[in-house]
Amino acid sequence: MPTQPYLYRPGTVPLIVSMPHTAAYVPAAILDRFVPAAKQLPDTDWHIDRLYGFAGVLGAHMLTPSYSRYVVDLNRAPDNASLYPGKFTTGICPTTLFDGAPLYQEGQAPDEKEIARRIDDYWQPYHDKLQSLIDELKAQHGRVALFDAHSICSQVPTLFTGVLPDLNFGTADGKTADAALCEKLLACAKRSDYSVVDNGRFKGGYITRHYGNPAQGVQAVQLELAQKNYMQETHPFAYDEAKAGRLQAVLQALLSIIIEDISAG
């Protein structure tokens, strides 16, 4: 069992890499209430912490949770407001899988009291740490960048039609990061062999939208990766070293652009 709700690895540059969905730990008291399919944790952002392991060498501050998104989703608003009104999505304490199937056995979903407790125990500490990091780095450097790292299966019919592009940038339609930085990132991504989209199906979740404020010196960018480019998309969700290595070269170039931009301030 984790001893704290998040893991923080300090860096040396004003860039925070947040990975809110990469954890795969669920307390037994919760896991025992899941249906069998949910116990495989299929909607996890598998291996994202491993994929971005190079970011620490670049000097980025790294923040990862200790608990699965099925315990509490750190990229949802505490009031559970929908990020995409009118579209299917999962809540702050999900009760369905991405395919729409139930996550819990009948009658075992958390009630309002349990949800509030999970927010207090797991959601709030992560966001308190993230906010304090932003404030600290902004005070030291004048500006700070937040990169929210995600991944998802390339085909999820309930969430989007067809096959998801490889690299999906989200800045709430340009509200959470300066246009000049976004243009540099997109240009870099488009020089690769991967398909790229800007503010498509994924426009940035709660973290990007809540913390990103370029006018106040906080640049925030979400990148949703199609998992087929670095891992096996079905159970057992194995990491693919060869594919991951090719993708890491692009990701390293992207983070380097952000570091250069934010440091030039």
Q: Provide the H-helix boundaries in the chain.
A: 28-31, 48-51, 55-58, 112-118, 124-141, 179-190, 206-211, 241-264
pLDDT at 85: 81
- Which residues on adjacent β-strands are paired with residue 167? 196, 225
Buried b (16+ CB within 10 A) or exposed e, 147-156: bbbbbbbbeb
pLDDT digits (tens, 9 = 90+) for 92-144: 999 999 999 999 999 999 999 999 999 999 999 999 999 999 999 999 999 99
Topology, domain 6-264: Aminopeptidase (3.40.630)
Amino acid identity for residue 206 in this structure? Y
> Domain segments of the chain: what residues?
6-264
pLDDT at 82: 85
Enumerate residue ranges in the chain where pLDDT < 50.
Answer: none
CA-nearest of 46, 18, 43, 151 to 94 is: 43
- Which residues on adjacent β-strands are paired with residue 64? 7
pLDDT at 265: 62
What's the pTM? Answer: 0.97
- Which residues on adjacent β-strands are paired with residue 150? 224
- Residues 137, 138, 143, 146, CA torsion sign: positive
